[in-house]
Amino acid sequence: MPELPDITVYVEALSDRVVGRPLNALHLHTPFLLRTVDPPLQRVAGKAVREVRRIGKRIAFALDDDLWVVLHLMIAGRLHWLEAGKRVPKTVLATFEFPNGTLTLTEAGTKKRASLHIVRGAEALAQFERGGIEPLESTREAFAQRLRSENHTVKRSLTDPRLFSGIGNAYSDEILHRAKMSPAKLTSRLTDDEIARLHDATRAVLTEWIERMRAQANGAFPEKVTAFRPEMAVHGKYGKPCPVCGTSVQRIRYADNETNYCPRCQTDGKLLADRALSRLLKQDWPRTIEQLEA
C-alpha cells in the first residue's frame, strides 16, 4: 500500500500538473470504485482543481464549488500520468481528464479495493481523518504520548492510523530496523531513550524516502511506486542479509501481512515466533540465530 512518502510524492507531482486547471471529465470504468452518490459524479466536470493534499494514505483534490474528490489507492492501486493525446489503456479503473493530460488509476490483482468519494465542503473530509498525528511534524513529546496512549506492540502502534498518519507495513519495518528495536516490543515498556530513538528513526526514514523518490522521479510523474524496493534494509528481504550486520532477515507472517526484521540488530539474536510455523514445528522451532543456522 502506498504510504506517506509515496503519497507525498504523488501529491507533489499532481499539484504541479493539475492545480489551476479544470477537470474536464472524470470517467469510471468500474461502478464499484465510487462509494458516494451525492454530489453526483457529473458535478465535478469542468471544475478547476484548487489544491491537492494528503489525508493519511488518501489523496484529496479540492475543486471549485467546494467539491472534493478523495481517492484511496489501498494495496494495489496506482496512478499514472499520460500526456495529452496519448491513448488510454483499457485496463484502467478511472480517468481524470485535464487539458494537459490524463490521470489514470489502475489496480493490480482480482481484489478491487481502491475507492473514490465525492463530497462537498472541507468539513466532510473529517470522515477520512483517522486522528493520527503527522509523524514528520510531531514533537518528541507528542510522539511519546501517542505511543503510550495504548499498550500494543510498537509495530502495531506505528501502523495504527488513529495514532500516526500515513505509516504502514513497509516503512514501519524500516523505521524499527533503523531504531534497532523489536517489532514485538510493547509500547508500555519503552523507555524515554527508546522513544527518542524511535522518533528520530521515524523522521529520518520517512524524510530520506521522500527525498529518494523525488530524486528517482526527477520531475517526471512517479511510476515506480511499490512497497518492495531494493534499497530497503529489511522490508521484503526475508532470507537476505541485513545491510548492517549480514544476518539473514527474518519474518513474522499474519493474515496478508508480513513483518521483516533483523534478529541480531533488533531482537538480541532471538527469533520471534511466526504463528503458523512455530505452531507447526513446536519444539523444533529455532529460537536463536545459532539454532537457525545449525
CATH code for the domain of 157: 1.10.8.50
Please tell me the predicted confidence (pLDDT) of residue 112.
83
Q: Could you give the CA distance from residue 128 to residue 124 in angstroms, rounded to a whole number?
A: 8
Is 135 contained in some domain?
A: no
Is 134 contained in some domain?
A: no
- Looking at the structure, tell me whether residues 203 and 61 fall in a common domain: no
Is 272 contained in some domain?
A: yes
Per-position b or e across 146-160, b if 16+ CB within 10 A of its CB: bbeeeebebbbbbbb
Where among 80, 98, 128 does a domain terminate?
128
Is 267 contained in some domain?
A: yes
Report which DSSP code applies to 66. G
Question: What's the structural domain count of the chain?
Answer: 2
Task: Judge whether 131 and 161 are in contact, CB under 8 Å.
Answer: yes
Please tell me the predicted confidence (pLDDT) of residue 289.
56
- The kind and range of the H/E element at 183 are none
- Looking at the structure, tell me whether residues 231 and 289 fall in a common domain: yes
- Looking at the structure, tell me whether residues 166 and 280 fall in a common domain: yes
Tens of pLDDT, residues 25-67: 999 998 899 999 999 999 999 999 999 999 999 999 999 999 9
- Looking at the structure, tell me whether residues 193 and 116 fall in a common domain: no
Q: Could you give the CA distance from residue 71 to residue 98 in angstroms, rounded to a whole number?
A: 17
Domain of residue 63, residue span: 4-128
Task: Judge whether 77 and 106 are in contact, CB under 8 Å.
Answer: yes
Please tell me the predicted confidence (pLDDT) of residue 85.
87
Whether the per-residue pLDDT at 291 is higher than 70: the answer is: no
Question: How many Cβ atoms from other residues are within 10 Å of residue 33's Cβ?
Answer: 19
Whether the per-residue pLDDT at 290 is higher than 60: the answer is: no
Please tell me the predicted confidence (pLDDT) of residue 227.
87
Partners of residue 51 on adjacent β-strands: 62
- Looking at the structure, tell me whether residues 83 and 160 fall in a common domain: no
